[in-house]
Structures are given as C-alpha cells and as structure tokens.
C-alpha cells in the first residue's frame, strides 16, 4: 500500500508540474502575440446563433481592416488551437474571426449535445453561417465579409458563397473539397501506388484488403474502411494527422485552456455529432454539379502534395469556374494543412488576394 501511495504521489506531482509548465508556456505565447494597437481586438465570445450558443474568437490589429471569417475543417476539427502558429501575420491586414461550429470545440461544451445532434445538418450550418456573417457585418460596420474555408469548411464556404454572393467580399478555398467520394477514390489510388513502392507488403496487403474502396453506401462498413485507410494515409504522410509538434501546439495554445482540449481528446464525438453532414459529404456533395458560376471573386490556395483533398480534383474544377476574378495558387511541398506546411508561401498568396481591389 505504501508503494502504491508513493507511486500515486509521484504521478500527482508530475501532473502538477506539467500543468504548471504548460500554463507558463501559454502565458508566454500569449504575451509574444499580444495585440498592442489601440484599434485592435483579441477576445472570444459566445453568440446566440441558430438557437444555441456558438463560440467566436476575434483577432486583428485594426478593426477598420476587412473581416475574414475562418471556416474550419472536419467536420468537427477546429483550427483555433493552432491559430498562434499561422495567423499572426494575417492580423495586420484583416480581422480574423474563428468560429467553432455546431457540435464542435468550445461550442460543443456550451450546449447539450443530445439537443444539438439532430440539428447538425447541412441546411442548419449554412443558416448558422448566414447569421454569423450578418452579425459580423453589423459588429464591424462592413458590407461584405471575406470567407476562408479549409477542407470541410470549403464545402460550407462554397455553398454559402453561391447562395449569398452579395455578402461575400472574396471566397478563399484552402484544401478545397469538390467531391468527397472522388477524393477517396483518388487518394486510395495514390496510396496504393506509394505504399507498393515503399516495399511494405504488410501495409500494402492491408490497403488492398479495403478494395473496393470506399464502397457505395455510407454505412458502418464504409466508416471502418475509411478509418483504416486514414491511418495508413497518415502513416505515409499522405494525409494530415496528429504529430508531436501539433499536439504540443495545442497544449501550448493561448486560445485553448487545458480544459478545452477535452474536445480534441474525445473519441466518437465527431461521428456522433456530425453524422448527417458526413453522410451528405460522402453520398451527395458534388460541387461541379451544383455550380461553376460565381458572382464573387474566387481564389484557391492548394498544397501540391495534398492527397486528402487531392490537388488535381481542385485544379480541374477550378478550371471550369466562372467568376469576376479568380486565381489558383499552387503551394509546392505543402499538404492538406497548407497554412502550417508552407507558412511564407501561403501568406504571400493570401496577402495578394487581400490586396486585390
């Protein structure tokens, strides 16, 4: 018993030291990126959107700048915990607003998931986006907002821009999704080629065992296949996944408390809370069939090594897009999280887009 108590005491001491160290690092990082201008903003708030409380975080050096609404990926994968690693340079040119969507991040814990789950549908998240854009327009006295959609956020961003072009100053797709089913087909073929070339027969056989991939119906069997495939993709760096650096960034984030990280560590939350949207993505969504005609300037920033939302599919669709202004920015040596993979190249593209008159 004394030995067990000693081990427990040591464990508790280690955890206390770790938590204290992380708190110090969070404060240090917050100080390093502190907004110092008199006309700047840096705060989070819960706003009544779509009948529930949803979290927004605002940061920028000058509220007179354009407002950029960042639509994160997933569904259910907030980028706010990583914002300190990529967006600080943006804040001189735009006020960046992160929105933690329905059933996601800080919004998830502010509401009753059992009540929110049935409302987490494609129609509702587009309506949520509309309400947030209207809120930001009024708050910052803007006629239009820049929309940046990353991965799943690019689905929301594209659909919103097509439906409400009069509210969008520019649309920026990052890791643009065009057809999720085709994404999986193309990604699978690439993985087959790459893993076969690696000489790892065990992984190659595990991959071929998933054929036909991903299947035709979004059911439990397809979900299991996709989960197994994603693990192999991440192993061979053909998809974004948890790395030591990313995990460390989360725990040192000045925007997330240690308590907030519960969401990122929870298993099954996304599958339970986002099931209707995941079903729509796999079974229905096809951007090319929806429209190629935009009334708003459209820009894509895409990593050339992105096999999660394959570069070629985004490029092919973009070639058919009709818009008042359009530009496709190819970022070499960048994967799915382009803004982290190649920060300087990404920022060069983004600042050129922001400065377009």
* Domain range for 82: 41-179+255-280+292-354
Are 205 and 272 members of one domain? no
Which of 125, 45, 82, 122 has the alpha carbon at shortest distance from 251? 82
Shared domain for 136 and 224, answered yes or no, is no
Same domain as 148, residue 61: yes
Please indicate, yes or no, whether residues 197 and 306 belong to a single structural domain of this protein. Answer: no
Q: Is residue 33 part of a domain?
A: no
Let me know if residue 318 belongs to a domain.
Answer: yes
Asked if residue 285 belongs to a domain, the reply is: no
Same domain, 201 and 319: no
Rounded Cα distance, 284 and 204, in Å: 30
pLDDT at 138 over 90: yes
Burial status of residue 324 (CB atoms within 10 A of its CB: 0-12, 13-18, 19 or more): exposed
Q: Let me know whether 187 and 58 are in one domain.
A: no
User: What's 64's domain CATH number?
Assistant: 3.40.50.1820
Length of the chain: 357
- Examine the domain organization and report whether 190 and 99 are in the same domain: no
pLDDT in tens, 23-69: 677 777 777 888 889 999 999 999 999 999 999 999 999 999 999 99
Q: Is 2 domain-assigned? A: no
Whether 222 and 264 share a structural domain: no
pLDDT in tens, 178-236: 999 899 999 999 999 999 998 899 999 999 999 889 888 888 888 888 889 888 988 88
Q: Are 146 and 265 members of one domain?
A: yes
Rounded alpha-carbon distances, angstroms, from residue 214 to 62, 233, 287, 324: 47, 14, 19, 37
Q: Which residues contact 273 (CB under 8 A, 6 or more apart)?
A: 76, 103, 104, 108, 113, 116, 117, 120
* Pair (131, 198) in one structural domain: no
163 and 189 in a single domain? The answer is: no
Over residues 262-290, the pLDDT tens digits come to 777 665 555 567 888 988 998 899 999 99
C-alpha dihedral (51, 53, 54, 57), degrees to nearest 10: 140
The structure's pTM equals: 0.91
Same domain, 311 and 201: no
Number of domains in the chain: 2
Mean pLDDT of 235-257: 82
* Domain presence at residue 7: no
Residue 263 in 3-state DSSP? Answer: helix
């Amino acid at each position: 018993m004394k030995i067990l108590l000693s081990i427990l005491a040591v464990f508790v001491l280690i955890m206390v030291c770790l938590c204290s160290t992380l708190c110090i690092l969070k404060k240090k990082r917050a100080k390093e990126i502190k907004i110092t201008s008199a006309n700047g903003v840096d705060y989070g708030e819960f706003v009544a959107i779509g009948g529930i409380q949803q979290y927004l975080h605002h940061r920028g050096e000058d509220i007179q700048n354009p407002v950029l609404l960042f639509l994160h990926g997933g569904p259910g994968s907030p980028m706010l915990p990583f914002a300190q690693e990529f967006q600080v340079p943006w804040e001189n040119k735009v006020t960046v607003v992160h929105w933690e969507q329905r059933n996601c991040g800080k919004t998830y814990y502010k509401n009753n998931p059992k009540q929110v789950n049935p409302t987490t549908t494609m129609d509702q998240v587009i309506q949520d986006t509309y309400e947030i854009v209207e809120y930001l327009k009024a708050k910052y006295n803007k006629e239009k907002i820049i929309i940046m959609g990353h991965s799943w956020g690019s689905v929301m961003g594209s659909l919103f821009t097509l439906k409400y072009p009069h509210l969008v100053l520019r649309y920026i797709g990052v890791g643009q999704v065009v057809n999720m089913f085709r994404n999986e087909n193309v990604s699978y073929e690439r993985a087959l080629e790459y893993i076969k070339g690696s000489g790892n027969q065990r992984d190659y056989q595990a991959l071929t065992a998933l054929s036909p991939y991903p299947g035709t119906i979004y059911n439990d069997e397809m979900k299991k296949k996709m989960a197994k495939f994603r693990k192999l993709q991440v192993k061979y760096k053909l998809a974004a996944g948890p790395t030591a650096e990313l995990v460390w960034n989360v725990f040192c984030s000045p925007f997330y408390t240690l308590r907030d990280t519960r969401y990122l560590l929870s298993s099954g939350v996304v599958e339970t809370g986002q099931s209707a949207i995941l079903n729509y993505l796999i079974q229905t969504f096809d951007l090319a069939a929806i429209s190629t005609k935009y009334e708003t300037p459209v820009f894509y920033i895409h990593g050339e090594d992105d096999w999660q939302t394959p570069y070629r599919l985004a490029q092919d669709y973009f070639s058919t897009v009709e818009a008042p202004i359009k530009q496709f920015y190819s970022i070499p040596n960048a994967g799915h999280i382009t803004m982290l993979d190649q920060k300087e190249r990404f920022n060069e593209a983004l600042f050129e887009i922001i400065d377009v008159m």
